[in-house]
């Protein structure tokens, strides 16, 4: 009888110990999950670029022939940028400091520095507060909410960038509020300095932004000192292997600036776990001498087709790319080997991108 009682006592003691241990483990896990997290991430990229039917020199560091879009325009072996992103995520608040070094970073922050000596390395610098599960406030310098493409080459499928991206805004400094309205709907409202003026407000005037999102589709509006841009960005998974991205925009500039409009499709097909092939087909038109295409005409257009392969080797991405830009008139951006303007330019790019 005593043996039976003692056995029950031992069993109860073991059960109590297991219960206490599991509770301690759960509590420790919950504490670990709510601890602030400091992160370091980023990328580096470099490339080789050659025009197949145009000049390949760059006197004074400016290429004689290159598409009128941003980045990946330098001839021969060239550098992109080193990108270092420092982040701190607390339970309710955090910050992001996104620093860039190199030609791509310099082109991305073309309006800085204005006041500080180091403004040309600050791509993003903001703090945020998660007011609730459905409301987030962000104050500082953040990349634009318009467009399909972004500054970092890691997040773009094509290495060279589109005209729509290049002539839309890059960055804003201001206050924005993100709202999760439901599982499918989101909304963003913002008040900001004038577009791409990121260090301070030079004029005392402000820009205003709004975004409405539904299931990965976004309608964006930017109003800035008499100008406005309306932009649609989205995409659809048509199958497990086939994705179609879409971007369309219209910009109405203030007097003397000019207008532009365009649309781009991004079909991408995944052939294996480590390789995807994709196409960007873009039509871009400008009026009133906006100046993006490089022609002598005030009203002109360009059609650009970019075929890109993307091979991943661990954290390294290799991107071979063929691009053909064809304008409706002869363009000073498309100089041939005799430095004469022509209507089209074909080019080849081989890029290496490493992310961490």
Give pLDDT tens digits for 218-255.
999 999 999 999 999 999 999 999 999 999 999 999 87
Q: Residues for the chain: how many in total?
A: 356
How many whole angstroms separate alpha carbon 269 and alpha carbon 218? 23
Query: What pLDDT sits at residue 98?
Result: 98
Q: pTM higher than 0.95, yes or no?
A: no
Please state the domain extents for the chain.
35-355
Q: Which pLDDT belongs to residue 301?
A: 96
Residue 216 pLDDT exceeds 70: yes
The answer to whether 128 touches 136, Cβ cutoff 8 Å, is yes
The CA distances from residue 310 to 56, 247, 259, 313, 318, in Å, are: 25, 21, 34, 10, 6
CATH 2.40.160.10 fits 35-355, yes or no: yes
Say whether pLDDT at 28 is over 90: no
Q: Residue 210 has which token pair?
A: 């709004």
289: left (phi over 0), alpha (psi -120 to 50) or beta: left
CA-based max dimension of the chain? 108
pLDDT classification of 10: cutoffs 50, 70, 90: very low
pLDDT at 20: 41
From residue 306, alpha-carbon distances to 169, 206, 309 in Å are 22, 36, 10
| Residue 167: pLDDT band with limits 50, 70, 90 | very high
């Amino acid at each position: 009888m005593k043996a039976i009682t003692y056995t029950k006592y031992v069993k109860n003691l073991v059960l109590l110990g297991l219960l206490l241990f599991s509770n301690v483990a759960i509590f420790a896990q919950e504490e670990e999950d709510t601890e602030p997290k400091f992160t370091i991430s980023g990328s580096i990229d470099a490339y080789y670029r050659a025009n197949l039917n145009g000049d390949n020199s760059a006197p004074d560091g400016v290429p004689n022939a290159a598409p009128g879009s941003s980045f990946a325009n330098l001839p021969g072996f060239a550098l992109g940028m080193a990108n270092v992103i420092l982040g701190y995520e607390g339970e309710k608040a955090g910050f992001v400091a996104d620093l860039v070094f190199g030609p791509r970073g310099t082109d991305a922050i073309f309006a800085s520095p204005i006041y500080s000596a180091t403004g040309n390395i600050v791509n993003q610098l903001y703090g945020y507060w998660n007011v609730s599960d459905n409301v987030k406030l962000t104050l500082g310098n953040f990349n634009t909410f318009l467009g399909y493409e972004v500054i970092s080459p890691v997040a773009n499928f094509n290495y060279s960038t589109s005209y729509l991206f290049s002539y839309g805004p890059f960055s804003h400094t201001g206050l924005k509020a993100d709202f999760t309205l439901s599982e499918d709907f989101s909304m963003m409202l913002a008040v900001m300095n004038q577009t791409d003026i990121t260090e301070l407000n030079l004029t005392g005037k402000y820009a205003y932004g709004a975004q409405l999102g539904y299931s990965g589709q976004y309608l964006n509006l930017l109003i800035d000192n008499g100008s406005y841009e309306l932009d649609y960005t989205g995409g659809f998974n048509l199958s497990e292997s086939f994705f179609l991205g879409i971007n369309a925009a219209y910009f109405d500039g203030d007097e003397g600036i000019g207008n532009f409009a365009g649309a781009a499709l991004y079909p991408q097909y995944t052939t294996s776990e480590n390789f995807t092939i994709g196409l960007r087909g873009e039509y871009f038109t400008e009026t009133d001498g906006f100046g993006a295409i490089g022609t002598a005409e005030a009203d002109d257009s360009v059609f650009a087709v970019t075929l890109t392969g993307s091979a991943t080797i661990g954290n390294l991405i290799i991107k071979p790319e063929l691009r053909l830009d064809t304008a409706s008139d002869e363009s000073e951006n498309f100089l041939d080997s005799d430095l004469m303007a022509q209507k089209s330019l074909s080019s080849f790019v081989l890029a290496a991108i490493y992310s961490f």
